[in-house]
Copies of this chain bind each other. A is one copy, B any other.
Amino acid sequence: MDELDTAILRQLQEDARQPNRAIAQKVGIAPSTCLERIRLLRQRGVIRGYHAEVALPALNRSVQAMVAATVRPLSREVVAEFERSVSRLPEVLSVYTMAGSDDFLVHVTAQNIEHLHAFLLDRFTERREILSFRTMIIYQHLTNQVLDPLPPPSDSVTR
């Protein structure tokens, strides 16, 4: 992970479909070198994949909410089963498993408020392991598409 890898990663996070030739030019290396670097980044698992970003309203998903849920018992089995089954629901964008007073934060989308309400009644109210949940409407969700490496933890330089 040198400066070159970082620059290449930045490009691929910004636009994963731009030609290898364009990336090579921007970071100042030959296309073949760039391609080899990208191949290694993928092989080492630094790049996990390439995904299209889709506008949620175009998918009839104009309403977003964060659902904070607590489950009981908080056992390995119940946690794993919650993660698995909830993350597979079509309305669910992501599941955060948390330390704190809420066990999970579930980022969900629906066509509108009525559908959101119906979804929660159908999929959350009925679940026996869910002790309680709170729903918070999301007005806006801003995402940082491009992430650079953070400076290594100071331990790794001093020791």
Contact = CB atoms under 8 A, between A and B. Distances in A.
Interface of A: 1, 9, 12-17, 44-56, 58-61, 66, 83, 87, 90-100, 102, 105, 109-112, 114-115, 134, 136-145, 147-153
B45 A15 contact: no
A85 to B, nearest CB: 11
Contacts of A54: 9, 13, 46-48, 147
A141 B94 contact: yes
A112 B153 contact: yes
A61 B140 CA distance: 24
Contacts of A49: 14-15, 52-53, 145
